[in-house]
Amino acid sequence: MLKQLVNDFSSLIYPNLCIGCGRGLVTGENYICYHCLVGMPRTYFHLVKGNPLEQIFWGRVPIEKATSWFFYRKGSDYQHFLHHLKYKGLREIGVEMGRNFGAELVATNYFGDVDLMVPVPLHPKKEKQRGYNQSVAIAEGLSQHLNVPIDNGVLIRQHYSETQTKKGRFERWENVSDLFGLTHDEYFAGKHVLLVDDVVTTGSTLEACARKILECNGAKVSVVTLGFASI
């Protein structure tokens, strides 16, 4: 009953229209219509060894595997999905998109050897302002198909940082290089960790997270994001 009340309230704010194109949704569609789902500019990086996302980290930090769902371009319908997720309070679109991407990934067993998922953490101040961590929502959707547990408490953001939006590669790295910490030393020892984020541009935030995790003996890191934005 509570879930239905929440859904009814959400429908008043976000009617049964696709967040991307504005078309009416039909039974079985949630936030994203079939037309947008089929037309999504997918990267298919998980089918390509040494793909462009993996190349971002070459010479910077050892990443086992990396993939993104779609190419992220400003002004496209698909930008609307992530904009609503991050800035409009529509947490459930993150779960829904993660669920759809997870269904495609599980068919390839690309992350079949992953032990747990770790969403890129927000600083508590930012998470309180937003009301949630969008990367956790994405991870929850992915987990429905990948059947991998989520750990959202050990990797933490220690300092409140400025927005990354208008920074270049070096500025982004300076902004995040000492941001993350672990609440338990060696917690990720011997584990293959899948880092989850919404969009990757320069990879600086994910690199900083991976470096902290890889301080644990025998840890391995892979990366998954919804969007891949080239700079």
Q: What is the DSSP string of 197-228?
A: EEEESS-HHHHHHHHHHTTSTT-EEEEEEEEE
pLDDT tens for each residue of 47-91: 999 999 999 999 999 999 999 999 999 888 899 999 999 999 999
Model confidence at 12: pLDDT above 70 = no
Q: How far is the C-alpha of 70 from the C-alpha of 84, rounded, in Å?
A: 17
Residues 6+ apart with CB under 8 A from 145: 99, 102, 103, 105, 106
Taking the model in full, what pTM does it have?
A: 0.88
Using one digit for the tens of pLDDT, what is the confidence trace for 161-173? 765 555 555 555 5
Cα–Cα distance measured from residue 118 to residue 168, given in angstroms and rounded to the nearest whole number: 25
pLDDT digits (tens, 9 = 90+) for 91-133: 999 999 999 999 999 999 999 999 999 999 999 999 999 999 9
- If one counts every other C-beta atom within 10 angstroms of the C-beta of residue 39, the result is 13
Mean pLDDT computed over every residue of the chain: 90
